[in-house]
Amino acid sequence: MKKIAIVGCGFSGTMTAVHLINNAVEPFELILIGDQDTFNKGVAYTPNSRNQILNVVASRMSAYPDDPGHFLNWVSTLEEYSATDKGLLANSYLPRYLYGKYLEDIWHKAVQAPGATRVKITRKDSLVTDMDYSGQDISLQLKNGEQLVVQYGVIASGNHQPANPAIEDSQVFNSNKYFRNPWTTNVFSHTDKHSPVMILGNGLTMADTVLGLIENGFTSRIYTISSHGFSMLPHKHLGIAYNAVAGELQGNPALSDLVRILTRHIRIARRLGFTAEPVVDGLRPLTQQLWQNLSAAEKQKFMSRLRYLWDTARHRIPMHIHEKLVQLTETGALELNAGKLISITETGNAVKVRFVNHGSGETREITVSSVINCTGPATDLMKTDDNYLKRALQKGIIVQDALLLGILADPATFCVCSNSFEPHDNLFTIGSLLKGVLWETTAVKELREQAAGLAAQLVRRIH
């Protein structure tokens, strides 16, 4: 009996497994490896706070590419939403924990379906610590001491925790006043609720952390710092289609052409009273192909000169969350800074954070009780802590993409490439690790298509 191991049991791993079970023809063993606490939900949908919400409206959050209303219909059956107008519900940003329950429900129904009897399902509540590859077989060493040998492997382990900031004195990184991983419950339970705190980063994770702190009774001032400061935009024009830009981007446009065309259409939208939001959303169906068509030099130029602008336009937050952050800023509860971090030093019961303010050019020192790293997941494997992917990279089993955003793989088959740049026939990856290959590969829209496509390939290969 062939064995398939999926490393990581968040959205990508769960939905790949569900499609494998639903489409099974011949018997095989499916081994899922991941943390019990986040099984099915992953870190993304196991939030620290019940008030953290999805960044996409309910009508666009189906886990199935061929059933766009699946999540909305599921939510409508819940007692707390059964009396809510479905049109209103479709355009609502619902709690993130609720989506985790949705994925759990999908999993339970899949394993209880009649077709599931063809699949031997094995769960391992552990982490992979090492990987070896012989060509036909993949060997996985688990933290609990087990060793698994499988014929097919899927790397769906998602994001790494943020990298530590580049400062000279790294002593503070060992302190209990520094939280490298902002997604753990310790961030709220071990933070002094009545003393100031510093957040590194001004993106989506910062917003979640600020609201989570307040929900858990935090009463003091929250400081933030990042290179560009706070620049997140709210969703303003939900559902407005802008198709004109896509019609001009056929073929293989250069980066300069892309910038020129987008700039012109954004000006047109603004003259009519809109932001860039509909224009950027109109580009969405083409983003992956446009990215793949860019040269290595163009991708590097985008990352160094345009990524910040893209992230600002692309990664927006719900209007009421944006308004809440603005309100906190106006009342002085939240201070958002743009600057260059110099040092973080623990002194007794406090932490001193020094940075150069980009606006004034002055050096500031702020004393806080703790520092929370919300700078986003690390992507360069060589700068992460010891893990199985870093070891696989050192062994030549995998290779990183040129921009060090993830690992190199064939975008058509999801087959992972070795250090000879040749794709393996039986080792695959999915999700955020494909960022360097596809760029847009972290939202449900992309992940659900990848999970269905990868599962279909695996079914064909094992039969």
Q: Is 305 exposed, middle or buried (0-12, 13-18, 19+ CB in 10 A)?
A: exposed
Residue 353 pairs with which residues in a beta bridge?
344, 366
**Residues 6+ away with beta carbon under 8 Å from 317:** 55, 204, 207, 232, 233, 234, 235
**pTM of the full structure:** 0.95
In percent, the amount of the chain with pLDDT more than 70 equals 100
pLDDT tens across 164-210, in order?
A: 999 988 999 999 999 999 998 889 988 999 999 999 999 999 999 99
DSSP letter for 412, please: T
pLDDT tens across 237-251, in order?
A: 777 878 888 888 888
Query: Would you say the CATH fold of 171-233+317-373 matches that of 3-53+95-160+379-462?
Result: yes
Cα separation, 26 vs 372, in Å, equals 49
Task: Find tokens 């847009």 and name the residue.
Answer: 440
Residue 131 pairs with which residues in a beta bridge?
140
pLDDT band at 350 (very low <50, low <70, confident <90, very high): very high
The pLDDT of residue 363: 96
Task: Find tokens 């666009």 and name the residue.
Answer: 60
Mean pLDDT score, 260-284: 91
The pLDDT of residue 462: 87
The pLDDT of residue 242: 86
Mean pLDDT score, 41-68: 92
The pLDDT of residue 252: 87
pLDDT band at 300 (very low <50, low <70, confident <90, very high): very high
Mean pLDDT score, 135-156: 96
Please give the residue that has the higher pLDDT: either 276 or 455. 455
The pLDDT of residue 221: 98
Cα separation, 268 vs 276, in Å, equals 9
The pLDDT of residue 237: 79
The pLDDT of residue 168: 87
The pLDDT of residue 61: 98
> Which tokens sit at 194?
């009545």
The pLDDT of residue 169: 87
Task: Find tokens 């893209």 and name the residue.
Answer: 310
Confidence check: pLDDT of 267 > 80: yes
The number of beta carbons lying within 10 Å of the beta carbon of residue 292 is 13
The pLDDT of residue 240: 82
> Which tokens sit at 294?
């860019």
| Cα–Cα nearest to 36, from 10, 72, 12 | 10
Mean pLDDT score, 402-417: 97
Cα separation, 402 vs 411, in Å, equals 15
Domain ranges for the chain: 3-53+95-160+379-462, 171-233+317-373, 244-314
Single-letter code of the amino acid located at 92: S
pLDDT band at 463 (very low <50, low <70, confident <90, very high): confident
| DSSP class per residue in 190-244 | TS-TTS-EEEE--SHHHHHHHHHHHHTT--S-EEEEESS-----B--STT----H
Helix, strand, coil tally for the chain in percent (to 5): 40, 20, 40
Cα separation, 174 vs 188, in Å, equals 18
Convert 396-414 to b/e letters by CB count within 10 Å (16 or more is b).
Answer: ebbbbbebbbbbbbebeeb
pLDDT tens across 68-102, in order?
A: 999 999 999 999 999 999 999 999 999 999 999 99
Assign 128 to helix, strand or coil.
strand
- Indicate the class that CATH gives domain 3-53+95-160+379-462: alpha beta
Task: Find tokens 């935009």 and name the residue.
Answer: 233
User: What is the dotted CATH code of the domain comprising 171-233+317-373?
Assistant: 3.50.50.60
pLDDT tens across 351-377, in order?
A: 999 999 998 999 999 999 999 999 999
Cα–Cα–Cα angle for 34, 35, 40, nearest 5°?
Answer: 75
Mean pLDDT, the chain, whole residue set: 94
pLDDT band at 295 (very low <50, low <70, confident <90, very high): very high
Confidence check: pLDDT of 10 > 90: yes
Residue 352 pairs with which residues in a beta bridge?
345, 367
In percent, the amount of the chain with pLDDT more than 90 equals 84
| Cα–Cα nearest to 414, from 395, 400, 431, 399 | 431
| Cα–Cα nearest to 457, from 152, 85, 105 | 152
- Residue spans of beta strands (DSSP E) within 348-404: 350-357, 363-368, 370-373
Convert 86-120 to b/e letters by CB count within 10 Å (16 or more is b).
Answer: eeebbebbbbbbbbbbbbeebbeebeeeeebeebe
The pLDDT of residue 54: 94
Confidence check: pLDDT of 272 > 80: yes
Cα separation, 53 vs 324, in Å, equals 13
**Residues 6+ away with beta carbon under 8 Å from 273:** none
Strand 128-133 with 138-142, pairing = antiparallel
The pLDDT of residue 79: 95
What distance lies between CA 151 and its chain's CA centroid? 28
